[in-house]
Amino acid sequence: MSLDLDKRQRAMLREMGIRLWQPQAVAAEVAGVVVAADTQKISTSTPTSAALPAPEAAVVPSSASNAPPSRRPPVESAPASAAPSNAANATAGNSAWSLGEARALYAQPAKPAADNGQPAVPGAAARWLLLIETPPVAFEADPLSGDAGKLLDNMLRAAGLHQSASAVSVPLSRRVDAGNAAPLGAPLAELLKTEKPDVILIMGRLAAQALLQSTEPLGKLRGRNHQLAGVAAVVTYDAAYLLRSLPDKAKAWDDLCRAQQIAQRIKPK
């Protein structure tokens, strides 16, 4: 259905940023009206008020109601030896990291192809470990709850993690002035010994810097294959950040594809 608008009305809509699909002849007429309107506006010098940007929506994590049972208790950790040195991370040297409970993301992964008669899913034999930077307020929450959790779930399912042999998440929370805490290396080593992951996905800038003991920004840590205690690791954004920066979703998908390529090299046992 088309609107019967005259040239002046079409020009006004064009000025408001509303695009109209119209024949080429009409478009030429409207363009002339717009030029005339612009000339008149310049001559009158009428000031216009700048539009204020919409306030950023706060991401409020919700508590988990149906979270899978945890596998290990949280452990307080000491700060990494190589803390970020820029001003934005000035307090990182006085902080400690808490390594939270391991949770199975998908309690019932897909059955092997031999059991259901379906073709084998690439990477389904891999064991995944997600180390997710998490604010203290959401430390005990289900990682797949809330808006950030829904986004994470969609991303992981698109990458096939719901069909993996094992997909476990562990929250990491940075606590300022946490006092004398146990080193992060010991609980992390115990976690890796228990879960035996084939690929680790580190989600979050500060968590990646602490775990890899690096001062490099996330942009440089991404796009590379790392090793964490001898296990292949990939760095990406956390889901809460992606809710605030939608253009970086494509980069996060690239990171997931990189991790999936590692997982596809794992052969069924």
Query: What is d(CA 247, CA 244) in angstroms, rounded to the nearest whole number?
Result: 9
CA atoms within 13 A on the CB side of 68: 16
Query: What is d(CA 134, CA 23) in angstroms, rounded to the nearest whole number?
Result: 53
Residues 184-223 pLDDT 10s: 778 889 999 999 999 999 999 999 999 999 999 999 999 9
The model carries a pTM of 0.63
Query: What is d(CA 133, CA 238) in angstroms, rounded to the nearest whole number?
Result: 7
CA atoms within 13 A on the CB side of 265: 8
Query: What is d(CA 202, CA 207) in angstroms, rounded to the nearest whole number?
Result: 7
Query: What is d(CA 242, CA 245) in angstroms, rounded to the nearest whole number?
Result: 5
- Residue 3: CB atoms within 10 Å: 9
Residues 47-86 pLDDT 10s: 444 444 444 444 444 434 444 545 554 444 444 433 333 3
Could you tell me where the DSSP H helices lie in 196-263? 205-212, 218-221, 239-244, 249-263
